[in-house]
Structure 1
Amino acid sequence: MVKKCVACCNRENRSSNISFHRFPTDRIQQQQWLTRLKRLDIKDVSNKRVCAIHFDVSSFIVQSKKKKRNSGASDNKKRLKKDALPMECISDLRLIDCGTQTDLDMISLSNLFEKLTLLESNIIDFSIDIERFQNDDYNINYFTGFRSYKIFRMVFELLQVQYDEHFIQYTSRDDPALCHSKSIDNHKLSAENQFFLFMIRLRRATDEQELAVYFNISQSTVSRMVISWTRFVYSVVSSINLWPTKDQIQQALPFEMRKNYPYVRVIVDCTEFEIEQPANPQAQQDTWSTYKNTNTPKGHKKQIFIFSYSSLFLTGLVGITPNGIVSYISPLYGGATSDKAIINMDGSQSLIELLEDGDNIMSDRGFSLDSKYTHLTLIHPPFLDRQKQLLSQQVLQTRIIERHRIHVERCMGRIKNFKLLNGIILLKSIYLLEYWFYICTFFTIFDEPLVKIL
């Protein structure tokens, strides 16, 4: 009797090297076989067979070459292990009358495998590099946030001026100083492609393992590269003076601002970044945000980065000029630090130290200046105080202020377009957050102007 497989069209013949196997005698195992082969309709398995195609290679007993040669065993006499189970069929089997079945020729099957191999070899390599996008501004904007390759190249050349193979190094998270043991310059990726990888990480928050596949490098290399470029880019952009002089502000003052608030030097607002919750109770208290009911960092407490982090916040203060250019980026502070406390911070990196007599600051209602800063004026929407509602003049004032303040809120939106800052920052990356905040805020300068000058 010709043996036929119950799960496919294969039949036993002399030219075939496929082995056929009986169902096990154990009823439980029989049921497992039928379930996997999707042939629960079969009641009697005594004369049924299953061909070797439905078993994994590991299901067979491996014979040594010497034993096989002595016994004269051929490929179609393979033996199954006692606990072997057939592979599960992907889709339900359609039952076809034997008269309409056709044999699957093994030569045809071999040809199909050859074609499959050929097709796989013809698949275009999906690794990416900057050269692919030199004429594709849409994808440059998607991957990096820069409007065009021309702007991307301009920023890279700005960095390249200070690029030093002894400065950009593979560095570890534990060593805050730049190591000089292994230069990135020795890597097969060009400096421009390394910067491209770094920007994709910032803009798209692409997983490091995914970037490793895209650029055909290891995940550990991607990690070290991101750390190194973070430190390098920060060292360059943080050395650039963003704060314009009074004369420069006045020369570029928009007409509406000149008419309403001619002495405004800076428009400020705060933004928060969610972090992994600190295990340390004091760190949780420092990073707790009343506004978001979670933990955040807020701009300046450097010690926050030495805590072991579980979800809180850090907050940063950003200031823009009246014509919409970023002019101030604060350090990060614990989420428990109020907007009032942040704006009144003093020290070398504080906003207060940059302001001069007669300067006005525009903000929302959450900010207020200490009484000791009598030489400065804070402009914000009026409060209700004991009034039931604002007076008509106060409503008009609020509208005018908000019309100017909207630009700093749009700037915050651009910062959060860098998706790496949008999610929860993990403990292992918390020490880089302040660098990322500064870099991403700085790069918004290369976007479309926030205020259109008519």
Structure 2
Amino acid sequence: MGKWDGCCVPGCGSTRTNSPNLSFYRLPEKPTRKQLWLRAIGKVCTSKLWKPSKTAKICSMHFINGTKSDTPGTSGYVPTIFEQIELEGDCKSRQKNDRTTVLKATTTTATVSQPETVSQPTVNPSVDDEIRSEMSRDDEDVPRSNGHDYLKTMEDTSTTVDFEEYVRLRVEMEEMKAEVEKLKKACLRLDNIKDNNDKFRFWTGFPNYGTFQALFEYLKPKAAGMKYWRGGATLDSEHYSYRYSMKPGQRRTLTLEEEFFAVMVRLRVGLLVKDIAARFLISESTFSRLFTSWINLMYQELKGMFELPSRKVAQEGKARCFNLFPEVYITVDCTELFTEKPSDLDTRKQLYSNYKHHETVKFLIGVSPSMAVIYCSPCYGGRASDKYITGASEDLLQSLKPGDSVMADKGFTVECELAELGVKLLVPDFKGVGRSQLTSAEVERSNGISKARVHVERIIGRIKRFHILDGQLKLSMSNSLEQIFVVCAYLVNFQTPVVRNDGVNGTQ
């Protein structure tokens, strides 16, 4: 307990000793309400600047009905009753110029009997002059008292009610502002996560906001003139990609960066369209259109960004595990994704995979010795073999030069086809018929191939961490499935390396 155990209001001498029947309240901890109390107390004019101590209290005499209330808008929420004190110095001079009339706190009601003369406390002449100035009213509409007490009482009561209503609304507004800020921070917004690398990696797959922004800045000029997908009507509408002309129709709800962010969240986390549309406060149809439009744009741009390079470029920054195979140009492998079972028998036959015993779609992935995805084939049904898909990938075969080597699993039986191009196929050795075991040289070579090829499987694993590819893919996605998978494959190149330069496996 401090040295002074009494009321902190200047001019009030109430203490627990001389006023045992009074209650004493500490200043509120909530900043908004505390400021209202300090404003009210600070208007009691003294010759010195008053500042509250940490243990400051105010007695119940300064509250209407003699008690504090914690309910906003009620009479006891803020102290409003203060005894007049003698004015000194500059305070007295300022008081003379104050246009505010001293308001007497009263609960008098109109009665026929003659009232008793009771000494009543008065409301401070400027309990909050700043607040009252905001509540200005037309003077012409206010009746003049002309010496009649009942009009004075009406004015006092009206002013008190207006002040209490203002206090209630002011507190409610501040609480709502605080709630809005709290909700903004809880919402999925780019500004809320861009400074947290772990959260940014979870929601987008990018290691940090800087990488995300670098790709966005590359795509931004193309996206600015992008025509949003509207099904078959897309090709019938006019392009509005001119720099100085605005597109007709409703303005964007999201900025281009927010649209790109929403698309990445859909790819990485696999949220349902209804869910992500609600998170970004747009309609499902709007998100579907912008998602399809962005996927088509990224499909074209990323394929162009990661065209099949020359062997010299492909070997730059190669992983240490490829030192034993300097002639390797690309490592290939196939991966499959489950799909729903179609009702059409011919389609079901094309999609059925004997290896997975399920309907699947299949892609061929090519990775350079530097662990970058440099090739992704079109989409095939699960029935297609690895050999068939490799032979159908003409753009990949045309990029191979005599003397190059292609590393693959032993399931790729394309040695003869590659030999015609002067290209060698590197696969792990197998014992075959008539031998009991591999030679030591074959074992060493096979181990080297396996150690290098396993990183392709790790990259495919990263592709499948884009959870839009989880589970059984819906047949309704068939028109955009290839674009989605290819985009996810090339986005892996923007993540941390699978293998560091020191040979240690990277993480993502």
- Pairwise TM-score range, normalised by the shorter structure: 0.5 to 0.7
Aligned-partner Cα distance in 1 for 2:283–2:356 = 38
Post-superposition Cα deviations, 1:367-395, rounded to whole Å, max 9, x if no partner, equal 02152432111100112321354444333
What percentage of residue pairs aligned between the two structures are identical? 29
Read off the aligned partner of 2:287 and give its amino acid letter.
Answer: V
- Aligned residues of 1:242 and 1:326 also touching (Cα < 8 A): no
Unmatched 5+ stretches in structure 1: 1-114, 296-312
- Corresponding residue to 1:398 among 432, 446, 453: 446
Q: Does 1:272 align with 2:336?
A: yes
Cα separation, 2, equivalents of 1:356 and 1:232: 31
Question: Which of 263, 266, 284 is matched with 1:201 structurally?
Answer: 266
Per mean C-alpha deviation after superposition, the further-off stretch among 220-229 and 121-130 is: 121-130
Match of 2:399 in 1: 354
- Distance change >3 Å, CA 221–CA 358, structure 1 → 2: same
Distance in 1 (CA, whole Å) between partners of 2:346 and 2:408 is: 30
Pick from 425, 432, 435: which aligns with 2:473?
425
Matched, 1:318 2:374: no
Separation (CA, whole Å) in 1 of partners of 2:316 and 2:325: 14
Give the AA of the match of 2:363: G
Q: Give 2:489's match in structure 1, choosing from 437, 441, 450.
A: 441
Letter in structure 1 aligned against 2:278: V
Q: Does 1:261 align with 2:325?
A: yes
Question: Is the contact made by 1:381 and 1:397 (CA closer than 8 Å) also made in structure 2?
Answer: yes
Q: Which blocks of at least 5 consecutive residues in structure 2 are unaligned?
A: 1-171, 240-246, 503-508
Q: Deviations over 1:325-369 (max 9, x none)?
A: 11111111111111111112253xx32121111110001111021
Following superposition of structure 1 onto structure 2, how do residues 357-372 of structure 1 map, counting pairs within 5 Å? 357-369=402-414, 371-372=416-417
How far 1:159 moved relative to its partner? 0.6
Rate the CA distance shift 1:234–1:252 in 2: closer, same or farther, 3 A.
same
Contact 2:366 2:376 in 1 (8 A): yes
1:214-253 correspondence runs (5 A): 214-253=279-318
Q: TM-score, normalised by structure 2?
A: 0.58
Using the alignment, how far apart are the partners of 1:360 and 1:418 within structure 2? 30
Matched, 1:407 2:467: no
The one-letter amino acid paired with 2:338 is E
Match of 1:146 among 198, 206, 213: 206
Between the aligned partners of 1:241 and 1:184, the Cα distance in structure 2 is 36
Cα distance in 1 for partners of 2:248, 2:327 equals: 49
Given that residues 415 and 440 in structure 1 are in contact (C-alpha distance below 8 angstroms), is that contact kept between their aligned partners in structure 2? yes
Q: Residues 102-157 of structure 1: CA distance to partner in whole angstroms, max 9, x if unpaired?
A: xxxxxxxxxxxxx9xx8999362544321222312221111000000111111111
Q: Is contact 2:335-2:362 (8 Å) kept? A: yes
The count of aligned residue pairs is: 318
Residues 407, 425 of structure 2: 8 Å contact kept: yes
Specify the structure having the higher radius of gyration (Cα): 2
- The answer as to whether partners of 2:332 and 2:456 remain within 8 angstroms in 1 is yes
Distance, in Å, in 1 between the alignment partners of 2:329 and 2:398 is: 13
Pair 234,366 (structure 1): closer, same or farther in 2 beyond 3 Å: same
What letter corresponds to residue 403 of structure 2 in structure 1?
G
* 1:373 counterpart SS class: helix
Aligned partner of 1:351: which letter?
L
Give, in angstroms, the shift of residue 278 of structure 1: 1.9
User: What is the Cα-based RMSD across aligned positions, in Å?
Assistant: 2.7
| Structure 1 range deviating more: 236-245 or 402-411 | 236-245
> What is the aligned counterpart of 1:378 among 397, 410, 425?
425
Q: Does 1:162 align with 2:222?
A: yes
